Structure 1
Amino acid sequence: MGAESRHRRDPSGPARETLVIRNPRDVYNFINDTPRKATRNRLMIFTALASLLVDGWDTAGLSAGVPSLVETFELSAFETGLLTSSIGFGMLFAAFVGGHLVDRIGRLRMFLLDMVLFVVAAIIGALAPNFAMVVVARFLMGVGIGIDVPAAMSVVAEQTNTRRKRTFVNQHMLFFYYAIVGSYLISWLLLEVGGVGNSLWRWQMAIGGVLAFIIIVTRLTVAEETAFWLASRGHLRSAAGVIEKVYGVKVTIEAPAQPRAERRIPFTYFFRGKYLKRTILSTEINFFQSLVYFAVGFYLPVTAGVLFDDPAVALLGTAAVQCAGLVGAVFASVFANRVGLRRETLIGFGVEVPALVVIGIGVVQGWMPPFVGIVVLAIFLMAHTLGPAQTGVSIAVLSYPTEMRGRGTGLSYGVGRIGAIAGFYVFPLLLAPLGLGNTLLLLALAPLFGFLIALFVKWDPTGATSETEESDEPGEPTGRPVGEGAAR
């Protein structure tokens, strides 16, 4: 029985309805079915997605600042790879640990902790006196991002109704590319107008810290623990309080007198039964898309520098390519429900392969004009953001029930960070001996493998969360009660 069928008229008010909650499923059904568009709820979703602004800003800021960092500290190819991949190691560590904590202690606490890490990392990085401190700052930033993605994406999935769930979840890449484009444009202004020279990377880290601080203040003002998570832990009264506060609906609890037993969900559940192919699909997408993006997309200024002699022109060319990525992210959000996440993945990977092959052959043969190269890179990035750049995380968020969502998203994102680390290292190490063209030809194998696996692993979230699936009762009783009267 859905939550809508459990609405009653409140006799104390002229037309106010009362939501009756008897079990967690009533909470899930109400949020999944409600057509209400509460302002506070929208702000919570916005502050969750806004953390991707920090991630995107930091990614583009470091990408644009790599040449100045190399000159400042006279870095070798190995040190450059270590510097750029240090954030990936931080993400990898935090994605697995953070995903577990997001499920264990809640979305809200981790939601605030990660932004504090962003600010601390930005301060350390902007003031770093040596290479080692920059690496430490990058690692801490990665830890913050690794914690934030499972928390923020869980909040988005658990605050939206079924009809709009995939659309909102897919918007995380849209926010990422807002920041990417803005960061490259600011980098150009800092170089051309501000004359910051080799201090560009310090300025970019400092601006990222200010952005993170603004998001912290906003989250402290509007954020609430999600009713989904509270209900899944048996805290029905707390979940009711959140619903009343966010949606303005009066709630009555008619729950059993005895709290239900807490269920322990082993990590092996991600590799059993119906969850196996979901885990395979989301993790393989994240791995291959991260590898190709952080090898090709992250080093776009380097590639543009090969096509153009002027560093400032190369930055503007990079910003233009990133605008194409922004367009792809818009399409991904708009067409998520119509096309489906798996089909978006296949389209994206399917276009990336020929794009990399064309530009690779063109550079090797020496017939690639700079303008044509930028156009092909733009097509590559648009396909990337339309498809695999966002679908890996989106599929993970929508494939698991509340009790597994944080860990499932963390698992998928963590595997993606392994691909990111490989991409960070692969590009500079291959570029020196092979040259740009041959490096791009080799990297075309990543989207090819991603396409083939997605072609054979057939799973696409319907837009409803796993809480609505029949016989979806993962886990084993621990014997410990959970609920309002249980110890938390």
Structure 2
Amino acid sequence: MIDNVKELAQVASPPTGMPEVQQIGGEVAAATKRVVRKTLDDVAMTPFLRKITFFSSGGSFLDGYVLALIGVALTQIVPTFNLTTEWSAAIGASVLLGIFFGTIFGGYLTDRIGRRKMFIVDIVAIGVFSVLSIFCTTPLELVVARFFIGMFVGADYPIATSLIAEFTPKKHRSISMGMVSAAWYLGATVAAFVGYALFSVEDGWKWMLGSAVIPCIILLIGRHDIPESPLWLAQKGRTEEARVIVHRVFGNDVELVLEEPGTKTRLSKVFKGGYLKRIVFLGVLTLCQVVPMYAIYTFGPEIMSAFGLGQGHEAILGESAVSLFFLIGSIPAMFWLNSMGRRPLLIGSLALMAVGLVVLGLFPDAPVYVVILGFGLYAFFSGGPGILQWLYPNELFPTEVRASAVGIAIAFSRIGTIAATYGTPLFLAAFGVGPTMLVAAGLVVLGLVLSVFMAPETKDKSLGETSAL
């Protein structure tokens, strides 16, 4: 098509003194320029775009890190403070309660005042409360510190994933969002090994909880030059600022496709029309996907011991092995989401995850290799659903409420995770590990049935197309 337009332009090149033909030639030449211009969806990934993805994924890393580390730290905290089961559960669940509030308010503020401002504030706050955790002297102080860490970790999800979605071309979106999911598992895996290293250190729990300040400092340095989202600026009517950023990041041959600008972010839009159905689907799906995972990570050593994988260091190593399965499974899922599509991968993955948990539930006294196989099957195929809990809400809502939708979907799921994290040690004590795994399998099956009826396909579509589905 471009060659044909160029030929027309050459034919239309007028001799001097023929203004009508000159006008036609000018219009054709202008059309030629329009044809070769690209949109944000057409560009290739550059080192700077990869940097945005990498440092935006840091909040997810911190979530996995602080959540998994508390499971190991509790093995020291419980005897140090002589905690009851209820206090232990409260410390484990407090971060999830913080995430619940953080995702809602963080998502709304991100849509109101911008991605970049919130992008910096939340990382500073996580670092501050991580350091304060070192000086806690009562269980209540730990609960409060963990709550605020969770609140700012939760706020980072809608901030960072919106920024990634709005900068990343459509062919790379599943891979970039897959980095968010992989970062969670990486954070949890690193936490397991940090916990293992500090397990025998006196007051090691303080250094475990305070160590989160180190990735916070690294992320703060990496995030300082990441600009505001041009799609958010354009949606707020700040078109010229948006174009400056587009040309700086993507080049002068890239054109910004504008959405209809709005002046005020209305959270109620998430619950209107077809968006209500989407938010319910995403909230329930995320709940079914993360409740078993959060319970396993928060009380990993206890669960590993219940399966006969040893005590202390041995149980922590068992949790580390399961965490590696989660991390490894997220890598091929990034590419399968593009080759297989969102919907088929989601349904197939949930089915295999359920099989792994059913094996664990029915055979809690099985040999170690069967237990590892069950956990491995569940963890490896969690990769696809784990990515989609971030990818789907960013694709299915417009820029005006994208971060709010991410926040609400996560908050909805955290209602279940708060209850599950508080109830897991109590349920384990009352009924044993087998029934606990069967309840987890039931949740995954619920997510599977829901996905069969409601999961959309958003592969190869721009953000404008997916939000209009």
TM class by shorter-chain length? 0.7 to 0.9
2:252 is aligned to 249
CA contact (8 A) 2:94 2:146 kept: yes
Distance 1:114 1:42, change over 3 A: same
Matches of 2:243 and 2:322, distance apart in 1: 46
Per-residue displacement from partner, 1:166-212 (whole Å, max 9, x unpaired)?
22112211111122222212222223xxx315x23211222211111
1:288-310 C-alpha deviation (Å, 9 max, x unpaired): 11222122343222111221233
Which residue is equivalent to 1:482? none
Superposition map of 1:167-182 within 5 A: 167-182=175-190
Cα–Cα, structure 1 residues 247 and 85, in superposed 2: closer, same or farther, change >3 Å?
same
* Aligned match of 1:305: 305
Unmatched runs of 5 consecutive residues or more in structure 1: 6-17, 473-488
Write the distance in 1 (CA, Å) between the matches of 2:263 and 2:269. 13
- Any conservation in 1 of the 2:39–2:256 contact (CA below 8 Å)? no
Pairwise CA distance, 1:249 = 2.3
**2:348 is aligned with 1:347:** yes
Shift of residue 452, structure 1, vs aligned partner: 0.8
Q: How far 1:275 moved relative to its partner?
A: 2.5
Q: Take 2:117 and 2:33, find their aligned partners in 1: how far apart are those partners?
A: 25
Which residue number corresponds to residue 452 of structure 2? 455
**1:144-185 Cα deviation digits (max 9, x unpaired):** 111100000001101111111122112211111122222212
Match in the other structure for 1:373: 371
Matched-pair contact (CA < 8 Å) for 1:122–1:141: yes
> Is 1:42 aligned to residue 50 of structure 2?
yes
Where does 1:389-400 land on structure 2 (aligned, <5 Å)? 389-400=386-397
8 A contact 2:334–2:384 mirrored in 1:
no
Corresponding position: 1:187 with 2:192: no
Aligned-partner residue type, residue 343 of structure 1? P
* 1:231–1:239 contact (8 Å) kept in structure 2: yes
Task: Select 1:214's aligned residue among 213, 218, 233.
Answer: 218
Paired with 2:145 and 2:97, the residues of 1 have a C-alpha distance of 12
Q: Which amino acid in 2 is paired with 1:320?
A: A
Percent identity, aligned pairs only, is 25
> CA–CA distance in 1 between the matches of 2:256 and 2:347?
45
In structure 2, relative to structure 1, the CA distance for the partners of 1:248 and 1:266 (3 Å cut) is closer
Q: What TM-score comes out, normalization by structure 1 length?
A: 0.83
- For 2:115, the equivalent position in structure 1 comes to 107
Query: 1:418 Cα shift?
Result: 1.2
Aligned positions of 1:150-165 closer than 5 A: 150-165=158-173
Q: What displacement does 1:263 show? A: 4.8
Instruction: Tell me how large the CA RMSD over aligned residues is.
Output: 2.8
Contact 2:295-2:424 within 8 A present in 1 as well = yes
Equivalent residue for 2:92? 84
Q: Structure 2: how far apart are the matches of 1:252 and 1:351? A: 43
Whole-Å Cα distance in 2 between the matches of residues 430 and 254 of structure 1? Answer: 52
Q: Which residue of 2 aligns with 1:31?
A: 40
Contact 1:174 1:330 in 2 (8 A): yes
1:261 CA displacement: 6.8
Alignment counterpart, residue 227 of structure 2, candidates 224, 229, 233:
224
Displacement of 1:250 in angstroms is: 7.1
Given the superposition, is the C-alpha separation of residues 469 and 329 from structure 1 closer, same or farther in structure 2, using an over 3 Å criterion?
closer
> SS of the residue aligned with 1:322?
helix
- Name the counterpart of 2:334: 333
| Match 2:144 to one of 132, 136, 159 | 136
Match of 2:384 in 1: 387
Matched position secondary structure for 1:217: helix
Structure 2 partner of 1:283: 283
Aligned length: 438
Pairing 1:5-16 to 2, within 5 Å after superposition: none
**169, 186, 196: which one aligns with 2:201:** 196
Partner of 1:438: 435
Specify which of 406, 412, 417 is matched with residue 415 of structure 1: 412
* Larger CA deviation: 88-97 vs 238-247: 238-247
**Does the 8 Å contact 1:347/1:387 carry over to 2?**
no
For the 8 Å contact 1:107–1:155, the answer to whether it is kept is yes
The amino acid of 1:429's aligned partner reads L
Per the normalisation by structure 2, the TM-score is 0.87
Does structure 2 conserve the Cα–Cα contact (< 8 Å) formed by 1:117 and 1:143? no
Equivalent position amino acid for 1:214 in 2: I
Q: How does 1:470-481 map to 2 (within 5 A)?
A: none
Rounded to whole Å, the distance in 2 between the matches of 1:328 and 1:131 is 36
Contact between 1:301 and 1:315, CA under 8 Å: does it hold in 2? yes
Partner of 1:72: 80
